Structure 1
Amino acid sequence: MTVNQPPSLGRKPTPRTVGRNYQSIFVMLFVSIFLVGGMSARLVYLQLLEGNRNQQLADNNRIRLIPKQPVRGNIFDRKGRVLASSRLSHAVYIWPLARKKAEWPETLKLVSKILNIPEGEIEKRLEKAGYNSPSLLRIARGITPAQITAMEEYSNQLEGVEVDIEAVRDYPNGAMAAHVLGYTGELNDEELAKRKSEGYRMGDIVGQMGVEEAFESQLRGEWGGQQVEVDGAGHVLRVLGQKKAKSGKDVQLTLDLDVQKAAEKALGEQKGAIVALNPNTGAVLAMVSRPTFDPNIFSTRITAATWKQLQGKGNPFVNRSMRGFPPASTFKVVTATAGMESGKYSPSTILPTFAALQVGGTAFGEWNHAGFGSIGFVRALAMSSNTFFGQIGRGAGGPALIEWARKYGFGQKTGIELSEEAQGLVADAAWKQKVYKWDWTVGDTVNMSIGQGFTQATPLQVAVMFAVPANGGYRVKPHLLKDNEESKSWRQSLNIKPPTLKVIRQGLREVVAAGTGKALNVPELPPSAGKSGTAEAPPGKSHAWFGAYAPADKPEIVVLAFAEHSGGGGGSVAGPMVREVMEAYFKHNNPGLIPKPKSEAPTSKPKPAARN
């Protein structure tokens, strides 16, 4: 084996070994200069050319944005009672910047299991916000105490995930007035894209229907928040800036909670609607629709199963107060007006009635299958005679009926603040030709005159119709926002002749006193006036209608009840509903108008009268 010996210190250099001892020194100097130069160049690049960017990245790692959601404004009834407010609840947030992208999957898997939210759903929200976002991202609302406990137990595995307190919407009366109040919910992607220019952001809660949607701009408030510096563990070191959240404005409605409760109870589980309003101003005192829902369920996350279950209850989110149905004999108020205002029939007109009215080969039957003899407008309204009003409609003509139907507000939106309102339908010759390719016939006019055929009216529109004779001939604009404007700002005259109004009012009073509306002829109410209606609705049972106002001489309230596919007559089915609502109104608002019970007879025997 060869062993290399170190060169002798005393050996003389040769041409081949001159400078070899300094070679390593030169190499080391060269490498040092190269490294120092490279590092200096890199520092120059990082500090001068990339300084701003790197400073931003550093700030993102230590500066955190904590948004503060505003507390939504309260909703009150006309007497200041709470209909909607806010309560404190727990929500779960994630801080995207707290973890590297590759570290999030395991965390999200655990969060998904605890909160029972699909992992993909959370991941989608995180990707949309961006993994470098310094803002907190809410992924769950209204979590349960058990979920809060689980989050705390696994906190060491949930870096970047926090549980915090926020204000959520609360409806203390549950499902009461749900269709009027509406509900709140988080913006979806489509809604966010539309409203981003208005200052909305991902995760914002907005009104989704009803008053919550209609008055969103007042109720919303303004976001606030904090910009804070945190350490590596995410602990706040100091507050760098703060903007206080501005609470939303309160909204006071025209609804009367006592009347609303009575209307809810009167309708019960019957599919349909009840509307009560002030006939002089159009202020809505109550509005009920069945089936219904509890808006509190939207204060937490709605699962697909819950949504499917809700939809299976017969479209509970449809406000039937503002959906069109055949108005049946309630429409005879319009027919009477058209007949007298056309000049073809005087208020004192008397016509014979029959078991059926024959028109173009079609028999329009009287509901009692016999007729009522020769009668005038008052008796015809009281008994709801089909053959009488069929003759009036035929004589006045289709154009006159259509004109007055539209003057009363049919076929158009009433103007109430809610976006869910339908306009109904007042058909005419052009409409029929377009839809069916057929001409308008006399039979169409007669059918329309008794509230059948193509005509579709909403319970709210029918309530507005009853307000016209109640207030002396003005069509009111129903509204929900309570204010101090004079009633003339909410109504317009239809210029109905006084004799016409007088006859219609007499007829509606006679309906209750001696006709189809005897359900309201009770001592618990002041004298009232109204009209029943029973609409054919094949293939199901008939619809029942009843509209009324009271007191008959100086009305304060109009109530309209509609019972969908209930069967039976309007007076017997919907009439008692109207009575219950009116009883509650006068009990809580004007008990002095309720007739006092007669004093009981004396218990002692009366003395015999003296003989003459």
Structure 2
Amino acid sequence: MQIVSPRRKRKNPVNTTPYTTLSNVSQQKKKKWLTVGQKDQPIMIMILISLFLFGGIASRLTYFQIIKGQEFAEKAASNRTKIIPQAPVRGNLFDRKGRVLASTRLSHSAYLLPRIQIQPNWEEVKIELAQILNTTPEELEKKIQGENLDSPTLVKIGSNLTPQQITAIEENREVLGDVELNIETIRNYPNNRIASHVLGYTREINAEQLERLRSEGYRLGDVIGQMGVERGLEAKLRGEWGGIILETDGAGKIVRRAGVKEAVAGDDIQLTLDLELQKVAQEALGDRKGAVVALDPRDGAVLAMVSYPGFDPNIFSDNITPEIWQEVQGKGNPFINRSIVGFPPASTFKVVTAAAGMETGKYPPNTVLPTYAFLRRGGMALGEWNRAGFGPMNYIRSMAWSSNTFYGQIGYGIGGENLIEWSRKFGFGSKTGIELLEENPGLIADNEWKKSRFDMEWTGGDTINMSIGQGFTLATPLQVAGMFAIIANGGYRIVPHLENDPDTYLNQKTSLNMQPETLSTIKQGLRSVVTSGTGGGAAVPNIAVAGKSGTAEAPPGKSHAWFGAYAPYDDPSIVVVAFVEHSGGGGGSVAAPIVQRVLNSYFTDESN
């Protein structure tokens, strides 16, 4: 029997070192790394911070050089340049015969760069300059603050400098070293007060105007038309600015002229005014508050336009002191052009009432009406100016003697709506379209206007008042001249104008489509005013004159005097209207002689 012995088990050798695995190795390496990191930690932090800082610097450099590079380059360039603006020469104004009405003359102006405000001696400069330029430090501050600090364009701080002012600036260069002096042109009116309301004046643009007109290229220190044709024709007269670019070194000294943009002069404009006739009209009105208008009824060309009191527009070319301004303003509102301001037109308005009466068909040309001491209609009593009446009258005789009760009946009979309609056809209640932006439209009231103003309905009494040019009705001397022009030229409404462009304005005539009998009847009536009625004072030797007087009630003061006329009667070439405010006399005695003097001058001038 075979005996099998059991297998002997192998004994594990004894291991006195720790049992080693892969994880043990990793832990050992980690402990070693941590040991090293603890020693080098400050260095690593500094490296990280440096990387962060250098990255920020790099990003800012990228921003400044690439994104904002162009802007900073322009600012750097502006710090090395000065721009002396060159104002354009404003266009000249001439009368219809080529005589100068407005021109330019040379003067010196002072300029500063806007960045003067951040210089340490700005306060000292302001005080010194204000004393030399007869202004205040506050005013200088306002002028400078209107431009950006970084602007290289010099700002005008003084114009039309006297030799004494120029010398004072030069003698104080230690303080006023930044002040630039430059030669430029300023406006000059050689005839002083003549036609001042028509021509207007120029003056430096104010803050309100600059805000409104900056988008049109205006800038601080610009001279702009403020009134009259200087304002109305500003776009043509102005021209385009130029400038001189000067390159400077670090000390601000001029190194060279870097470039020039030539200024473009404004347009010269010939006006329709006749300078000599303007002078005669001004002398005829004298020192009485009022206006005189003369125009050509064929095309609306204004030959003369006078308003008193007036002013000398040259004062605005100088630095106006408060004392000078107060003196000018104290002369009865001299800047109001009474030629284009509304007043009650009185009996001159009977021309409209006559036309409306005939054109409606209710009162044809052969109408005869009784006249009364008083006309009682529409809740009112209209008195005849002679306090007795004239007996039966037709259009011609009633026009000659300016009967109130005759035309009161006509107006009441046709009604307010018809009279208002014809008033507006004649151009009343709206602007004429003349180039003077100060023009007032006058007033032709109606039921809607009265209700909104007084919360009352229109009445027959309102119509009667309107028929004789009283009540709410207001008309300007220019509008009254336009009314006479319609009768003179055969029934066409014209556009009064001052720019001498006859072809344009001839094409703007509008026919009122009046019947020939209507025009003929009114013309005969206006002729009889001068030959046998209230207007004998307007008669001119050897010239047939037609016209109409008017005396307007103007409580609480004295009455206004009107007279309007045209001549020659058969082929009219001129209309003249005179208005005297609060004259206290009648139109025939006060205003007619003024018209006569203007007409006489016009027809004795061989060049007309």
TM, length-normalised to structure 2: 0.86
Letter in 1 for 2:215: S
- Letter paired with 1:549: Y
TM superposition shift of 1:56 = 4.9
Query: Is 1:526 aligned to 2:548, yes or no?
Result: no
Amino acid at match of 2:381: A
Q: Does 1:549 align with 2:566?
A: yes
Give the distance between the partners of 2:406 and 2:76, measured in 1 at CA. 87
1:538 shift after superposition: 0.2
Residue 291 in structure 1 maps to residue 316 in structure 2: no
Specify the alignment match of 1:561 in structure 2: 578
Paired residues of 2:294 and 2:576 also in contact (CA < 8 A): yes
With over 3 angstroms needed to count, the CA separation of the structure-2 counterparts of 1:590 and 1:343, relative to structure 1, is farther
Amino acid at match of 2:289: K
3-state SS in 2 of match to 1:501: helix
* More off after superposition, 417-426 vs 140-149: 140-149
1:48 and 1:357 mapped to 2: Cα distance?
A: 91
Q: Distance in 2 between matches of 1:48 and 1:578?
A: 77
Count of aligned positions? 552
CA contact (8 A) 2:379 2:460 kept: no
Equivalent position to 2:120, from 63, 83, 102: 102
Tell me the equivalent position of 2:172.
Answer: 154
1:497 aligns with 2:503: no
Per-residue Cα deviation, 1:501-532 (whole angstroms, up to 9, x for no partner): 11110110010111111012232x51100000
Counterpart Cα distance in 2 of 1:477 and 1:556: 15
**In the TM superposition, what is the alpha-carbon distance from 1:361 to its structure 2 partner?**
5.1
**C-alpha separation between the residues in 1 aligned to 2:458 and 2:117?**
72
- Shift of the alpha carbon at 1:55? 5.5
Shift of 1:344: 1.5
Aligned with 1:537 (options 554, 574, 582): 554
Paired residues of 1:545 and 1:560 also in contact (CA < 8 A):
yes
Distance in 2 (alpha carbons) for counterparts of 1:400 and 1:309? 48
Alignment CA distance shift 1:428-1:143 (3 Å): same
* C-alpha distance in 1 between matches for 2:560 and 2:128: 54
Q: Which AA in structure 1 matches 2:185?
A: A
Task: Please give the alpha-carbon distance, in whole angstroms, between the structure 1 residues aligned to 2:535 and 2:123.
Answer: 68
- 1:47-86 equivalences in 2 (<5 Å): 56=74, 58-86=76-104
1:92 alignment partner in structure 2: 110
Q: CA deviation at 1:311?
A: 2.7
Q: Shift of residue 484 of structure 1?
A: 4.2
- Asked whether 1:408 is paired with 2:426, we answer yes
Report whether the alignment pairs 1:474 with 2:492.
yes
Specify whether residues 230 and 342 from structure 1 end up closer, same or farther in structure 2 by C-alpha distance, changes over 3 A only: same
Q: Give the SS at the match of 1:169.
A: strand
The answer for the alignment partner of 1:453 in structure 2 is: 471
Distance in 2 between residues matched to 1:61 and 1:498, nearest whole Å? 76
What is the aligned counterpart of 1:314 among 332, 344, 361? 332
- Cα deviation, 1:160-215, whole Å, max 9, x if unaligned, reads 01332110111111121111111111111221111111111111111112111111
Pair 100,451 (structure 1): closer, same or farther in 2 beyond 3 Å: closer
Q: 2:416 aligns with which of 398, 422, 428?
A: 398
Shift in CA distance, 45/374, structure 1 to aligned 2, threshold 3 Å:
closer
- Counterpart amino acid of 2:189? Y
In the alignment, which of 565, 574, 577 is matched to residue 594 of structure 2? 577
> 1:443, 1:566 → 2: CA distance?
27
Structure 2 partner of 1:278: 296
AA aligned opposite 1:261: K
Distance 2:227 2:69 in 1: 50
In the alignment, the residues of structure 2 paired with residue 56 and residue 406 of structure 1 have an alpha-carbon distance, to the nearest angstrom, of 60
Could you tell me how far apart the structure 2 residues matched to 1:282 and 1:99 are? 54
Give the conservation status (yes or no) of the 8 Å contact 2:342–2:441.
yes
Cα shift at 1:447? 1.1
- Inter-partner Cα distance in structure 2 for 1:147 and 1:48: 47
Residue identity opposite 1:381 in structure 2 = M
Q: Specify the code of the residue in structure 1 equivalent to 2:107.
A: S
The one-letter amino acid of 1:329's match is S
Q: Which has the larger radius of gyration?
A: 2
What's the offset of the Cα at 1:216? 1.1
Cα distance, 1:383 vs structure 2: 0.6
Taking the TM superposition and a 5 Å limit, the aligned residue runs for 1:336-415 are 336-360=354-378, 362-415=380-433
The 5-angstrom pairing of residues 144-223 of structure 1 reads 144-223=162-241
The structure 1 residue matched to 2:274, chosen from 256, 264, 267, is 256
Question: In the TM superposition, what is the alpha-carbon distance from 1:143 to its structure 2 partner?
Answer: 2.1
8 Å Cα contact 2:419-2:467 kept in structure 1: yes
Residue 97 to residue 517, structure 1, CA distance change in 2 (3 Å): same
* 2:257 corresponds to which of 209, 231, 239: 239
Give the TM-score of the pair, scaled to structure 1: 0.86
Q: Which amino acid aligns with 1:199?
A: G
Instruction: In structure 1, list runs of 5 or more residues that go unmatched.
Output: 1-33, 592-612
The one-letter code of the counterpart of 1:553 is: D
AA of the residue aligned to 1:475: R
Instruction: String of CA shifts for 1:526-576, please: whole Å, max 9, x gaps.
Output: 110000000000000000000000001110000011111111000111111
Partner-residue secondary structure (3-state), 2:89: coil
Shift of 1:233: 5.8
Pick aligned residue for 1:443 from 449, 461, 466: 461
Matched-pair contact (CA < 8 Å) for 1:77–1:83: yes
Secondary structure, aligned partner of 1:490: coil
CA-CA distance at 1:408 after TM superposition: 0.6
- SS of residue paired to 2:605: helix
Q: 2:270, 2:481 → 1: CA distance?
A: 22
Q: CA RMSD in A?
A: 2.4
Aligned to 2:28: none
* The 10-residue stretch of structure 1 (366-375 or 298-307) with the greater mean CA deviation from structure 2: 298-307
- Residue 144 of structure 1 deviates from its aligned partner by 2.1
Unmatched segments (≥5 aa) in structure 2:
1-49
Of 127, 143, 153, which aligns to 2:161?
143
What letter is aligned with 2:428? F
**2-structure distance, mates of 1:550, 1:198:** 45
8 A Cα contact 2:201 2:225, kept in partner: yes
**Relative to structure 1, is the Cα distance of residues 55 and 98 closer, same or farther in structure 2, using a 3 angstrom cutoff?**
farther
Distance 1:569 1:588 in 2: 29
Alpha-carbon distance, 1:434 to partner:
2.2
